[in-house]
Chains A and B, each alone.
Chain A
Amino acid sequence: DTEVTQTPKHLVMGMTNKKSLKCEQHMGHRAMYWYKQKAKKPPELMFVYSYEKLSINESVPSRFSPECPNSSLLNLHLHALQPEDSALYLCASSQDAGTGGLKLFFGSGTQLSVL
Chain B
Amino acid sequence: KQEVTQIPAALSVPEGENLVLNCSFTDSAIYNLQWFRQDPGKGLTSLLLIQSSQREQTSGRLNASLDKSSGRSTLYIAASQPGDSATYLCAPFGNTPLVFGKGTRLSVIA
Contacts and interface: CB of A to CB of B under 8 A. Distances in A.
B25 interface: no
Contact of B51 (A48, A101, A106): A101
**Size class of the contact patch on chain A:** 20 to 34
A45 B98 contact: yes
Interface stretch (B12-20, B37-45, B67-75, B78-86): B37-45
Contact of A104 (B52, B96, B98, B103): B98
Contacts of B49: 101, 103
Contact of B43 (A100, A102, A109): A109
A90 B43 contact: yes
Q: Is the interface of B mostly helix, strand, loop or mixed?
A: loop
Contacts, number: 54
A45 B96 CA distance: 10
B23 to A, nearest CB: 12
Contacts of A41: 102
A105 B93 contact: no
A99 B89 contact: no
B101 A42 contact: yes
A103 B100 contact: no
Interface of A: 4, 6, 33, 41-43, 45, 48, 56, 88, 90, 92, 97, 99-109, 111
Interface of B: 31-32, 34, 36, 41-46, 49, 51-52, 89, 91, 93, 96-103
